[in-house]
Chains A and B, each alone.
Chain A
Amino acid sequence: MAQIRKKGERETPALSTSSLPDIIFMFLFFFMAVTTMKEVTFKVRVTPPQASEAEKLDNKSLTRYIYVGKPMEDLKRIFGSETRIQLGDAFADVSELQQFIINERSAMKEEDQPLMTVSIKADKDTKMGIINDIKKELRNASALKIIYAAGKRQPE
């Protein structure tokens, strides 16, 4: 009350943005640390099954992925709604699997080749028939280390 207002509104000082880059860089490094490169763009919808004994995969660079599931909504018109296999960025047939594994393996360093792991990422509603076909092809291609991708479920 006794205070006398000087003329003119008292202005809040502008927020200093000089520390903004630091914060953003911090975010950036955080994301670089916790994320991994996206393997491919999904063309099939995969909801992995749950398993309480699932282990963490140790070597990502030696792993190749096979996706099995129904095509995404927007691709259903072209590719139908039957369960399909995706290798790399494209749909593939079971018969192409062996060649895919051979190509991928020969692209690896020689000492890494026996360590190659194939991760089967299949939707939980997939029928086992198609998985068995894949397993048979993998066996023929001598890709014997496989992983059934599964989410971690807490043991009850």
Chain B
Amino acid sequence: MADIAFLLLIFFLVTTSMGSTTGLTRRLPPPLPPNVVIPPVDIKKRNLFVVKINSMNQLLVQGNEISIKELRAKTKEFIRNDANDLGLPAKFTVNIPLLGEIEITKDHVISLQNDIDTQYQAYIDVQNELVGAYTELRNELSKEKFGKLYNELVEAQQKAIQAAYPQKISEAEPKNYGGGKK
């Protein structure tokens, strides 16, 4: 009896692996139909938040070199636009069910551009900070409206919060602007 049990135990130890997969979920844009030139979408400059990573893993955000630690705060400031700054994305008053009338920057876009020599870890760090900024904003709003954290809400409430802060991260085709060795 014990022998059979041992055998099964060893079999399972060998064929299985511990731990679960975690990661950052993203959605790619749908494929472009071939031979169709899509006219460049006109995004107003104030609605665009450009994050560039060069081949040395340095960040250029809106034309300024900053460190990864400042990125989250900068992103939040951009998405929220508390002071209704003309240099930050335009605000619109929209009516979202469960939340009522709320002012959001619905047209903002975060553009993430990387060099082909950028290290994967640096890229994930930036993605992480951007997702983190959205998570914090969503948490703040759901605390204010429902008194709970975002992932404690029921689905309809989560939908409403998502509508207020939609994740808009565009991943442009990479450029070799960083003066990398090629």
Contacts and interface: CB of A to CB of B under 8 A. Distances in A.
Interface of A: 17, 20-21, 24-25, 27-28, 31-32, 34-39, 48-57, 60, 63, 117, 119, 122-129, 131-132, 135, 138-140, 142-152
B131 A38 contact: no
Chain B: number of interface residues, binned into ranges? 35 or more
B17 A36 contact: yes
Given A51-B24, A128-B118, 4 more contacts: A21-B1, A35-B17, A38-B15, A53-B131
A44 to B, nearest CB: 13
A68 B46 CA distance: 37
Contacts of B5: 21, 24-25, 28
B135 interface: yes
Interface in B116-174: 116-121, 123-125, 127-128, 131-132, 135, 171, 173-174
20 contacts: A17-B2, A28-B12, A49-B121, A51-B124, A51-B128, A52-B128, A53-B128, A54-B24, A56-B21, A119-B21, A127-B118, A127-B120, A128-B120, A128-B174, A131-B120, A132-B173, A144-B27, A144-B29, A147-B26, A148-B26
A35 B16 contact: yes
A150 B24 contact: yes
Q: Which of A31, A39, A63 has the most CB of B within 10 A?
A: A31
Nearest to A149: B23
Interface of B: 1-2, 5-6, 8-9, 12-13, 15-18, 20-31, 114-121, 123-125, 127-128, 131-132, 135, 171, 173-174
Contact of A128 (B17, B115, B135): B115
A90 B128 CA distance: 30
